[in-house]
Chains A and B, each alone.
Chain A
């Protein structure tokens, strides 16, 4: 099985550790990843800001069509690929691209989906001796429907002290350019999310989307809350031999 990694533009540019962890994790599970260098961005930021870019959809389809599967360490980007790509292509009256986009979207998996649905494992042999709370990001839950897959994976991590995040079904207030266009509402939502995170006493806030973590982590850093944010892949990549 030839499996490609779509790192997402955010991880590529700002959070390479989440990408490296995804590679290390899947290596350990015997599923090497390829990283086609022609990839850039899924186009979600553009689409959600009102700029439909069929060119970015075409790029994604061209780059990933040859693979058997694509792994994305982001529920939001995987969601955009599955729910927006065909729509963006159709808005540009490109039915051929829409059809191809639908086919590639079908073999595009968010990380926890790939581990559980394709590799059939919910125990990846990870070791992470820290107090962790998990934020189920909105797009991973509501647009993609990952359900409890990430939590099943986390529960099987050795030595982890996993605590439930109160009000975890509520949006953190990121929302892409929403956080810039409506900074005051976004900050009000963030304040409540940070309060919940701090209440858990966790050292680490974990999620499957670096974008939401960039927002929550940016707020936690600003108030020097002393809570680290880690991508799900980073926690799952950690082992007793090579702890994070």
Chain B
């Protein structure tokens, strides 16, 4: 992609409203997304309810991340020093192009043409699998859901549960059609599906010498990285190969190892609705004769410093990618993730995508929300998503002038600018009765499913002024 942001925005996609219409018309998709989000939502709510210091944990998480963001330069250099001292090679990538080129070069240097991948949003964001493929390197996704997505040439629709838009019948079909070593009598029993994937992946784990991962946390004081996951497939990738290359967004830093006390309580409860992630893998540089001996870390900007420069939007970089905001979002529940046309969907995607790529490249995303605030309520690091959305809406309006809309709002502001003008404008209200059941654009979207109100005989102020 020309602007160097990789797959941050799916540029071949139509705008949100069009995508969303297709999604709300798809009843199977609606059912799949609703069922999955409701399940995770309930699990999360139960675990949060049993954690008496939840609000204090959220406040700590936000404060630690804010400290990182205010002293990012220092923490990054500290991380680089410590990781290097422990035998890791640290690389810096300004954008997706630089990151994919670095990873490609590192893989090529091993002389191998296959890599196994740990599920990672950063590598999705930079379009790494495609970039490697273009260089003749096959990257195998090993996260079960990412495998489903990769096999079906689909795209992730959720940050934590990327195949959430698929049900088990669809997954069986995907395995049958696209997984050559799938058993011929494969049923749609979840255990059978998992077993088929396990056998398929086990062969890859045993023969592939290079792995690529992301990281949930980068610890400045030790130079270590952490990956949290559920399946253990990540652990396989992180321990079996000779070479491990990790692509890590610069906002993933935490100052101290001890800060994990906060985040390893916040993350599993918020993401998968568990008290603890089944697998937390931490590695710090190279450990002799144990695990990968050739360890690389690619620190990725790709628009993060742009987001950092936005006073209101900066808080979005606290995000730990738990996707709790997706699971509670009434818009996401109806549209699924693909409608957002970006690697990061849902409420957090609607802010980080324009913040990182520039709002002019995703001007409709900040409007893909009813501003109900459910996202802010559940966010484990207290990102005030509605406020950031409103700020980005103002930026979007400035970046992309829309003459008719600008004129409408200017006229409304004018009408509201004084008592006489407002009283005069109210005289037009009775005309509404002619369009109650079918209004012209831009109100036509309203009257397609809703009546407009029956206009009153008298405004409130007329009633008041006429002696009540």
Residues of chain A touching chain B, judged by Cβ–Cβ distance below 8 Å, are 7, 9, 11-17, 19-20, 23, 35, 37-38, 40-41, 43, 45-53, 55-56, 59, 83-84, 87, 91, 138-139, 142-143, 169-171, 173-190, 214-215, 217-219, 221-222
Identify the closest chain A residue to B423 (Cβ): A37
Which one, A41, A181, A215, contacts B17 given CB within 8 A?
A181
Number of A-B contacts (CB under 8 A): 190
A-B contact pairs, 11 of them (CB 8 A): A11-B460, A14-B453, A19-B464, A23-B464, A40-B415, A45-B412, A171-B374, A175-B369, A183-B449, A184-B24, A219-B450
Whether A222 pairs with B330 at a CB distance below 8 angstroms is: no
State A13–B450 Cα separation when bound (angstroms). Answer: 19
Whether B394 pairs with A52 at a CB distance below 8 angstroms is: yes
State A185–B451 Cα separation when bound (angstroms). Answer: 17
Which one, B24, B422, B443, B448, contacts A188 given CB within 8 A?
B24
Whether B446 pairs with A182 at a CB distance below 8 angstroms is: no
- Known contacts A14-B453, A55-B417, A182-B17; A187 and B448 CB within 8 A of each other: yes
Q: Does B51 belong to the interface (CB within 8 Å)?
A: no
Whether B416 pairs with A185 at a CB distance below 8 angstroms is: no
Residues of chain B touching chain A, judged by Cβ–Cβ distance below 8 Å, are 16-17, 20-21, 24-25, 30, 330-331, 334-335, 366-374, 376-377, 386-387, 390-391, 393-398, 406, 409, 412-413, 415-419, 422, 426, 429, 432, 442-443, 445-446, 448-453, 455-456, 458-461, 463-465, 468
- Known contacts A40-B417, A59-B417, A218-B453; A184 and B21 CB within 8 A of each other: yes
Whether B371 pairs with A48 at a CB distance below 8 angstroms is: yes
- The 6 A-B residue pairs whose C-beta atoms are closest, nearest first, are A175-B370, A183-B445, A218-B450, A50-B397, A142-B373, A171-B372
Residues of B within 8 A of A169 (CB): 374
- Known contacts A12-B459, A37-B419, A55-B413; A178 and B371 CB within 8 A of each other: yes
A209 to chain B, nearest CB (A): 12
B169 to chain A, nearest CB (A): 23
Residues of B within 8 A of A56 (CB): 413, 416-417
Identify the closest chain B residue to A84 (Cβ): B390
For chain A, what secondary structure do more than half of its interface residues adopt (helix, strand, loop), or is it mixed? helix
State A185–B339 Cα separation when bound (angstroms). Answer: 11
State A26–B452 Cα separation when bound (angstroms). Answer: 29
Whether B20 pairs with A182 at a CB distance below 8 angstroms is: yes
- Known contacts A50-B397, A179-B445; A35 and B413 CB within 8 A of each other: no
A159 to chain B, nearest CB (A): 27
Identify the closest chain B residue to A9 (Cβ): B416
B360 to chain A, nearest CB (A): 13
Whether A20 pairs with B417 at a CB distance below 8 angstroms is: no
State A230–B369 Cα separation when bound (angstroms). Answer: 26
Whether A14 pairs with B456 at a CB distance below 8 angstroms is: yes
Which one, A16, A84, A176, contacts B456 given CB within 8 A?
A16
Whether A185 pairs with B453 at a CB distance below 8 angstroms is: no
Which one, A12, A16, A46, A143, contacts B413 given CB within 8 A?
A46
State A185–B346 Cα separation when bound (angstroms). Answer: 13
Whether A51 pairs with B397 at a CB distance below 8 angstroms is: yes
Beyond the given A48-B393, A49-B393, A169-B374, could you list 11 further A-B residue pairs with CB under 8 A, ordered by the A residue number? A12-B461, A13-B459, A14-B456, A16-B458, A16-B463, A19-B463, A47-B390, A51-B409, A139-B373, A183-B449, A218-B452
State A180–B330 Cα separation when bound (angstroms). Answer: 16
Residues of B within 8 A of A182 (CB): 16-17, 20, 331, 367-368
